[in-house]
Structure formats: structure tokens, C-alpha cells
Chain A
């Protein structure tokens, strides 16, 4: 058994989670309140973080309840060796440990162009070629070795994907060579398939489903720019049909799936409850009794 599967065996099923990032609870869904109202529906919190903004009060409150978290990075180019600096790694791991994150995850492509600095943020997919896979593998190995945490690369969204590989082929190569798991974003995959004129389930033949540890679902909207039709990853409440189709296909085949995140934090909670219920039906999780904080926060 590989190191990754050894580590994974010690990690419990997290269940259904909600995403959030710095300050999102003040504008959209407050995960703590939602969890208090519907403890059977929401079991963990995935915090999207970067060095610039750090942790917010909301994720610290969630962590203080003893509830599980995961740390989703928003500021490292997995595809670019020079971007993975020692400073980024040290400070990111410090933040992840402060909220007791079970693992690190995040879109594996580019979060910024040029050096990491204000104004350069722009999420881009990797170039889907073998050279890019190999450079990403070096970075993921380094993150796992130096952090002691498992790292789950995620397939990013885009309107333009370049490179000769299918995105599932690219990630299959990456996760097997890195000995890591994958965060498969079903909405992003639906976007990719649409952009290449492919059916939602294309490319799953021989895919290492045993390495799919986490799934994302989110709403998207079909948009038209001068006759060019694409799916906008706008995280509206309702996922498109292809996203649900991919989700159900993968749940049935991923024996080590531990977590599903519904990326809906920018919406009203009421608009998302039915989908939380649906996700719980598709991926049931027995919730443990919530640990109360030892001291009042």
C-alpha cells in the first residue's frame, strides 16, 4: 500500500461540507449558523485561503467547535515550480494546522500570472500536456512531504483549455505519479466537456477512481458571448444536469470518497437546502456528536 493510502485509512468520512473564504460568511451563508440549524445536513467546512488575507473569524469559530475543516489554497500555481516557495508552504501549513484542516486541496493550474502579488489573481487551468503534469507532480510531492498533510489537486474551471490531453487523463497521470488523491470538481468537469463538445462522462475509462477523495458541486449558467456559448462557473444555487450526472457516476465508483463540498456560500441558505438534502441522500454520513468548545469563545 502506498504512503497516501496509509494516511487516507486514518481519515474518517467527512460527509457533506460547505465552502467559504475570507469574509464570505458576512455576505452569504454563515456555515456556523447553517450547521447549528441543520446539523444533519452540513458536516464540515472547506476554507478557501491565501497568504494575503489569512484566516477569518468565521473559520476560527467553526474550528473552535471541534468540527472538521479542510484548507483549499487560492494562491499557488501547482503547475509552476518556482511559485511553490518555502515561505508559502510554511505559512499555508501554519494556517491549515491552526484550523485543524484534515487535508490541503485546491485547483491545480495557476491562481495568478507572474509573481504572487496584488492584481495578478486569475484562475487558469494547466496546459494539458505531460511536461505540465511532471512539474505539478514535483510540487504536489513537495507539499505532501513537507506539510505532512495529504494534498488533493482539483481540476480547475476555464473557458479556454489548451493542450492535447483530456483533463481526466491529465489528472490521472498527476495523481498516480504524485501518490496523492484528487478533488474532482464535477461542475468544472462539466464545463470542460462542454468546451470540447464532449458528453459529460467522456474520459472516465481507466480513471483511478480509488484516488477520488473529494467532490465539488456548484451551480453554473449557460452564457453567450457573440454566439460563443460557454458555461459560467458562477456558483449559483442550481448545478446543471451534467454536473449531477458526473457526481452520481463518480459516487458509485469511488470507494475512498470521503467528502463532498457544495460550493454555494454566496447564495441564500434557503435556496440551497434542497440540494444539501439531495447530497446527503446520495452520500450518507453518520454525524458524530459535536464537540463543544472547552472555553467560551
Chain B
């Protein structure tokens, strides 16, 4: 229905003054490809242009929620660029506009925006890529944890034809070994400046320096739902290799086979699957 298109377009216009200018100045090219009737286009353009910009704090308020979820990544970005505009430009980016128009998650679009900037070498802080991946994993798990699934009681014998997968809100990742240490350093820094936030306008305000160096070794983490969101648990490489297969629904036999391809023995894979089912990290799908 075209009115859904119009609603998504409305959101984009409420966030992006430059986009509003473009809609009013070049309606046919700006609105091309959108499922809108001529009448709807006319209604849009009949609206007083100044009305779209009535809330000048909208971007900043929304940025606050993004910063809360990507606390460490955004600190690294601002520390490197020293420009708030780098984050603010997200709301004018094609990534943002596509996400809104297609009814997708804005938060994951923000992660994509930062990830693209890393790929394009606009952001060079070496610790940032893994921090962003870890915070994105946590964002996904936080959202997925709202999905409730029925977890039937475990049978006494786990037959290998049972189909299993990760309980929503659980996922695993592999990160450079100093990722958690870097997060802790950044959080400590944020705590300190949070004591007197106005200090950031001073030239002698503390800066984020001496971050832990990149460690080429890997650290494996399980992200799992907790009372106030999600928590991270360190796991070993074999756990990681087995559990990552649980992102899609597989029989236990298939999961073991794939883990074997990664170098995990059958006995070890069986033990990991059994423990994960008991701990509610994996569940048996009906």
C-alpha cells in the first residue's frame, strides 16, 4: 500500500533537512522509484516546508540511543575524528534512508554505516573493527532475546537426528584477544569524563590514549541474554566452532559433522552440544 511508503518517507523527512530540500526542489527525481500516487506527492509538497524541521533536537536525541548501544565504537570514532558531524551524518546517509524506507532496524543500519566507513578507510583506529563487530553482536542478541521459543524438556538420550539451534539471543564470535580489555579501558575513560562532562570543552581535558594494542591471538565469546540485556562469556575455540553451527537449524549429526570439518572431535562436539542444551544455549526445535 502506498500510504506505508508515504509514512516511511515522512520519517526520512523529519530526520533530514537536506532531504526535505531535495524533495521540494526536485520532487520527480527524489521521489522516483517510490510507490506513491500523484495525489500523495501533491499532499506532501503542499505541506509547509518549515513544518518538517520543527524538532531540531530529533537527531541528537536519536543519536543518544545509538551511542548507548555502540558506546565504545562511537567513543573510538569521535576520539579519532573529533567531529560530531561524523556520527550526525548517519541521518543523511543512504544507509539510514534505505533502512527507514525498507522498514529495517536503524540500529543495525548505524552499524553498517560505521562498518562501511572502516572499509572505505575513513576510520583507521585499529581496535575499532572488532569492537564494532562485538557491539553489533550484542545489539543483535539484545533484540533477538525478545523472541520466545518453546524449549521442550531434554530427552534422556540425545538422538543424533534431533534438530537443534541457538536459543534466540545467544550467539558466538571470535575477536582479537584485547577486545574486551579495550572495551574496559574505554568504559573507564567514559566514567571519568562522565564525572564532569563539561571538561570536554577544555583543551587539557583527558584524551583517550594508550589503548591496548591489537593482539593477533583470538578470544572467543558467547553472548547470552541476562537480566539487564546481554552478557559476554569467554568460551574456548572448540565451543565456538560447534556453537557457531547453531545459527541455522541442523540435526545433531550435521552439527557434529561440520564441527569435525573444523577439527573438533566427535566426542568433544557431543559434549559441547549436550552442555549447551542443558544450559539453554541450544534448544531442540520441534
Chain B interface size, as a band, is 35 or more
B100 touches A113 (CB 8 A): yes
**A162 contacts B by Cβ under 8 Å:** yes
Residue of B nearest to A119 (CB): B65
**B7 contacts A by Cβ under 8 Å:** yes
B14 touches A127 (CB 8 A): no
B1 touches A131 (CB 8 A): yes
What residues of A have a CB within 8 angstroms of the CB of B106 in the complex?
113-114, 119-120
**B122 contacts A by Cβ under 8 Å:** no
**A115 contacts B by Cβ under 8 Å:** yes
A228 touches B69 (CB 8 A): no
**B285 contacts A by Cβ under 8 Å:** no
Task: Say how far B105's CB is from chain A's closest CB, in angstroms.
Answer: 6
Give the contacting residue for B47; candidates A115, A132, A160; CB below 8 A.
A160
Task: Say how far B276's CB is from chain A's closest CB, in angstroms.
Answer: 25
Interface SS of B by simple majority: helix
**What are 14 pairs between A and B in contact, CB < 8 Å?**
A51-B146, A87-B146, A113-B8, A113-B11, A114-B100, A119-B65, A120-B106, A129-B3, A131-B3, A135-B1, A162-B44, A223-B54, A227-B50, A228-B51
**A1 contacts B by Cβ under 8 Å:** no
Per-position binary interface string of chain A over residues 109-135, scored 1 when its CB falls under 8 Å from any chain B CB and 0 otherwise = 010011101111010100101011001
Kindly count the residue-residue contacts between A and B in the assembled complex, taking CB atoms under 8 Å apart.
83
Given A117-B105, A119-B65, A131-B1, A228-B6 contact (CB < 8 Å): no
B43 touches A164 (CB 8 A): yes
Interface members, chain B 192-245 (any A CB < 8 Å): none
A117 to B68, CA, bound (A): 14
A119 to B65, CA, bound (A): 6
**A163 contacts B by Cβ under 8 Å:** yes
The 9 A-B pairs with the shortest beta carbon distances in the complex, nearest first, are A228-B50, A119-B65, A127-B3, A113-B11, A225-B54, A159-B54, A226-B50, A160-B51, A131-B1
What residues of B have a CB within 8 angstroms of the CB of A120 in the complex?
105-106
**A230 contacts B by Cβ under 8 Å:** yes
A124 to B143, CA, bound (A): 23
A131 to B107, CA, bound (A): 30
Give the contacting residue for A122; candidates B1, B14, B40; CB below 8 A.
B14
